[in-house]
A and B are shown apart, each in its own frame.
Chain A
Amino acid sequence: MSKLIIRYLAFSVITFFILLSCNKSSQTPSGIVRFDVQHKANGSTLELNKLIYTNAAGNQYMVTEVQWFVSKVKLQKSDGSTFVLKNGEPIYFDTGIPATLSQSFDKVPAGSYTGISFIFGLDETQNKSLRFTNPPESFMFWPDYLGGGYHYMKLNGKWLNVNGLIEPFNFHLGIGQIYDTIAPKSAWVNMNDCCKSARHCEGYQPPQKTMPITGFVQNYFEVSLPLAFTIEENKTQSLNLQMNIEQWFKEPHIYDHNHWGGSIMQQQAAMKAGCDNGHNVFTLSIPR
Chain B
Amino acid sequence: MCLLYQYPAEVKLFQVAALSLIILFSGCKDNPTDYWKPTPYQLSIPFGFPTKLNIPDDNPLTVEGIELGRYLFYDGRLTGRTHPDSLMSCATCHIQANGFEAGINHPRFQGGFVHGITGIPTRHIMLPLVNLVWNHSGYGWNGFIWPDNPNINLRNIEDFVRVAVMAEDEMSADTTRVKQIFQQLKGYPELFYKAFGSDKITFRNIERAIAQFVRTLISANSRFDKYLRGEVQLNPSELRGFVLFTTEEGADCFHCHGGGGNPLFTTHLFYNNGKDTVFDNLHDRYYITGNPLHTGAFKAPSLRNIAVTAPYMHDGRFSSLDEVIDFYSTGVKYSSYIDPLMHHVLRGGVRLTPSQKNDLKAFLNTLTDLDFLINPAFARPEKFPDQQ
Does B230 lie within 8 Å of A208, measured CB to CB?
A: no
Does B341 lie within 8 Å of A133, measured CB to CB?
A: no
Does B243 lie within 8 Å of A199, measured CB to CB?
A: no
Chain B residues numbered 217-243 whose CB sits less than 8 Å from any CB in chain A: 227-230, 233-234, 236, 239-240, 242-243
Does B340 lie within 8 Å of A135, measured CB to CB?
A: no
Does A198 lie within 8 Å of B260, measured CB to CB?
A: yes
Contact of B247 among A65, A138, A146 (CB under 8 A): A146
**Which segment of A17-25, A163-171, A181-189 sits at the interface?**
A163-171
With a cutoff of 8 Å between Cβ atoms, the chain B residues found around residue A144 in the complex are 246, 260-261
Does A69 sit within 8 A of B, measured CB to CB?
Answer: no
Does B249 sit within 8 A of A, measured CB to CB?
Answer: yes
Does A170 lie within 8 Å of B230, measured CB to CB?
A: no
Instruction: Provide the bound-state CA to CA distance between A198 and B242, in Å.
Output: 15
Contact of B346 among A143, A167, A210 (CB under 8 A): A167
Does A141 lie within 8 Å of B259, measured CB to CB?
A: yes
**Which segment of A75-83, A113-121, A262-270 sits at the interface?**
A262-270
Instruction: Provide the bound-state CA to CA distance between A106 and B239, in Å.
Output: 46
> Given that A200-B227, A203-B239, A208-B356 are contacting pairs, would A156 and B341 also be in contact in the complex, using a CB cutoff of 8 Å?
yes
Instruction: Provide the bound-state CA to CA distance between A203 and B353, in Å.
Output: 22
> Given that A130-B48, A210-B249 are contacting pairs, would A139 and B356 also be in contact in the complex, using a CB cutoff of 8 Å?
no
> Given that A133-B50, A141-B259, A200-B227 are contacting pairs, would A207 and B243 also be in contact in the complex, using a CB cutoff of 8 Å?
yes
Tell me the count of chain B residues lying within 8 A, CB to CB, of chain A.
47
Does A145 sit within 8 A of B, measured CB to CB?
Answer: yes
With a cutoff of 8 Å between Cβ atoms, the chain B residues found around residue A266 in the complex are 247-249
Does A208 lie within 8 Å of B248, measured CB to CB?
A: no
Does A199 lie within 8 Å of B249, measured CB to CB?
A: no
Tell me the count of chain A residues lying within 8 A, CB to CB, of chain B.
44
> Given that A134-B50, A263-B252, A266-B248 are contacting pairs, would A143 and B261 also be in contact in the complex, using a CB cutoff of 8 Å?
yes
Does A204 lie within 8 Å of B239, measured CB to CB?
A: yes
Contact of A129 among B227, B261, B339, B345 (CB under 8 A): B261
Instruction: Provide the bound-state CA to CA distance between A142 and B247, in Å.
Output: 9
Contact of A168 among B51, B244, B261, B342 (CB under 8 A): B342
Q: Is the interface of B mostly helix, strand, loop or mixed?
A: loop
Does B77 sit within 8 A of A, measured CB to CB?
Answer: no
Does A237 sit within 8 A of B, measured CB to CB?
Answer: no
Contact of B51 among A133, A145, A150, A203 (CB under 8 A): A133
Instruction: Provide the bound-state CA to CA distance between A130 and B234, in Å.
Output: 20
Contact of B234 among A65, A143, A170, A203 (CB under 8 A): A203
With a cutoff of 8 Å between Cβ atoms, the chain A residues found around residue B254 in the complex are 141, 143
With a cutoff of 8 Å between Cβ atoms, the chain A residues found around residue B252 in the complex are 263
> Given that A199-B230, A207-B240 are contacting pairs, would A133 and B247 also be in contact in the complex, using a CB cutoff of 8 Å?
no
Beyond A143-B246, A210-B249, A266-B248, 19 additional contacts (C-beta under 8 Å) are: A64-B340, A134-B50, A138-B50, A139-B258, A139-B262, A141-B260, A141-B262, A143-B259, A144-B246, A145-B243, A156-B340, A167-B343, A170-B341, A203-B239, A204-B242, A205-B236, A207-B249, A210-B247, A262-B343
Pairs across A and B, CB under 8 Å, 11 listed: A135-B50, A138-B50, A157-B340, A165-B334, A168-B342, A204-B239, A207-B240, A210-B250, A263-B249, A263-B252, A266-B247
Show the binding face of A for B, using Cβ within 8 Å. 49, 64-65, 129-130, 132-135, 138-139, 141-146, 150, 156-158, 161, 165-170, 198-200, 203-210, 261-263, 265-266
The 10 closest A-B pairs by CB, nearest first: A141-B261, A262-B343, A143-B246, A168-B340, A263-B248, A156-B340, A168-B343, A199-B230, A134-B50, A207-B243
